[in-house]
């Protein structure tokens, strides 16, 4: 069996999917994308495909080593994301050939269902409260919210009070037996993160996510030391080497993205490294159906898994949603805030290939916003 074709599809709202086909007709799917840079990743996927065509798809680790190390220049979000999608597709093929889910090939399941959280938004406490109530009514036991939109390097007392008021509204709806996480999105300076987290601590958030930018990971230990709130990071870290300083700094929750951090192969290794530091895993996944399917395979087989992000119905999904590209959307049915362990071979989903082909190139590449402070200087988003 040999790989004979690699195709990519840019589909709404902002995803890139890849299709890997063998001469036996077995097809694997992956989701290699950097949000806002889909076309760049698409080029990288086709460059890497040159290393795969004509080769045995079952040599997954050998292919991963070749794709990540055969060039003098390595790593970074674009290359790691391109590798991730192809790696997902190869695991999908292997599972289909052997007739088992990917997590069975990774050691077998350690849980039968996967806890997930849902995103909520809103600028006012009442808006956030209403959004949380909807998620609670849908059975979710955990939600995540942004701490703020554009923010100053050092927040005013009023800005801090607004953040806390929204968090208080969320806790009031959830009660003491459900959880909420707060995403700082790297928008805060180290000093500002320490200040704001101190005010959030009495509300007992599940974790605070990305309190500082990844390039300031050497400062995240200062945030950890200043609070008892669990600190999470990792959506913009792409390898074990990237994660190691964060683990050494004492983070509580690692958030590798299955479509950014080298795919299933590398995230499984990141999870194992995290376990040696007593760090839990909460895979980042504001993306599409294949990224979520790959995340669930990891969630089912790693002992230090905490909770899964998912983007069904998220505000980013304009023009299409996660379930629109699946023939079998029931695989992502939530029961009491949990997803059942997937049992179908490979990634456990059936992609609607016709829908994917029809949607390819139907919208311009998504771009992130450009924010500026009142003085005109650039602001992190």
At 148-187, the pLDDT tens digits run 888 888 999 999 999 999 999 999 999 999 999 999 999 9
Q: Where are the chain's structural domains? A: 3-101, 104-345
For the chain, the average pLDDT equals 94
Residue 123 has pLDDT above 70, yes or no: no
| pLDDT recorded at residue 46 | 97
Residue 231 has pLDDT above 70, yes or no: yes
- The Cα–Cα gap between 212 and 189 comes to 6
| Percent share of the chain, pLDDT over 70 | 99
CA-based radius of gyration for the chain:
20
Residue 381 has pLDDT above 70, yes or no: no
At 36-94, the pLDDT tens digits run 899 999 999 999 999 999 999 999 999 999 999 998 999 999 999 999 999 999 999 99
Superfamily of domain 3-101: Enolase-like, N-terminal domain (3.30.390.10)
Fold identical between 3-101 and 104-345? Answer: no
Q: Which fold has domain 104-345?
A: TIM Barrel (3.20.20)
Residues involved in catalysis? 185, 284
Residue 319 has pLDDT above 80, yes or no: no
Residue 380 has pLDDT above 80, yes or no: no
| pLDDT recorded at residue 356 | 97
Query: Higher pLDDT residue, 322 or 212?
Result: 212
| pLDDT recorded at residue 321 | 84
Task: Give 149-152 contacts, CB < 8 A, sequence gap 24+.
Answer: 149/123, 149/371, 150/187, 150/371, 150/373, 150/379, 150/381, 151/187, 151/188, 151/192, 151/379, 152/192, 152/373
The region that residue 176 occupies, defined by phi over 0 for left and psi between -120 and 50 for alpha, beta otherwise, is alpha
Q: Which helix (H) or strand (E) holds 354?
A: helix 353-359
**pLDDT interval class at 368 (50, 70, 90):** confident
How is residue 107 annotated by DSSP?
T
Per mean pLDDT, which range of 12-16, 96-100, 201-205 is the poorest? 12-16
| pLDDT recorded at residue 255 | 98
């Amino acid at each position: 069996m040999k790989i004979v074709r690699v195709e990519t599809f840019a589909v709404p709202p902002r995803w890139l999917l890849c299709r890997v086909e063998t001469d036996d007709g077995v097809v694997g799917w992956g989701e290699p994308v950097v949000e806002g840079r889909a076309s760049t990743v698409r080029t990288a996927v086709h460059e890497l495909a040159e290393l795969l065509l004509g080769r045995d798809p079952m040599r997954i680790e050998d292919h991963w080593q070749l794709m990540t190390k055969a060039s003098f220049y390595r790593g970074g979000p674009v290359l790691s994301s391109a590798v991730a999608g192809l790696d997902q597709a190869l695991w999908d093929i292997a599972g289909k050939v052997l007739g088992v889910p990917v997590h069975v090939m990774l050691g077998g399941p350690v849980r039968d269902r996967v806890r997930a959280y849902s995103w909520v938004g809103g600028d006012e406490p009442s808006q956030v409260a209403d959004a949380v109530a909807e998620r609670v009514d849908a059975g979710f036991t955990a939600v995540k919210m942004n701490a703020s939109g554009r923010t100053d390097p050092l927040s005013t007392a009023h800005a801090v009070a607004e953040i806390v008021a929204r968090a208080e509204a969320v806790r009031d709806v959830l009660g003491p037996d459900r959880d909420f996480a707060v995403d700082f999105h790297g928008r805060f300076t180290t000093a500002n993160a320490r200040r704001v987290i101190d005010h959030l601590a009495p509300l007992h958030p599940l974790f605070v996510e990305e309190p500082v930018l990844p390039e300031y990971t050497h400062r995240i230990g200062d945030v950890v030391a200043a609070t008892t709130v669990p600190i999470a990071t990792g959506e913009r870290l792409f390898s074990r080497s990237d994660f190691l300083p964060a683990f050494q700094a004492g983070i509580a929750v690692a958030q590798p993205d299955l479509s950014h951090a080298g795919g299933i192969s590398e995230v499984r290794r990141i999870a194992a490294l995290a376990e040696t530091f007593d760090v839990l895993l909460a895979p980042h996944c504001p993306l599409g159906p294949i990224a979520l399917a790959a995340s669930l395979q990891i969630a089912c087989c790693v002992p230090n898994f905490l909770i899964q992000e998912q983007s069904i119905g998220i505000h980013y999904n304009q023009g299409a949603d996660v379930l629109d590209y699946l023939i079998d959307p029931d695989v992502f049915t939530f029961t009491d805030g949990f997803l059942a362990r997937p049992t179908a071979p490979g990634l456990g989903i059936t992609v609607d290939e016709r829908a994917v082909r029809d949607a390819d190139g139907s919208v311009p590449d998504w771009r992130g916003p450009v924010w500026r402070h009142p003085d005109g200087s650039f602001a992190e988003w």
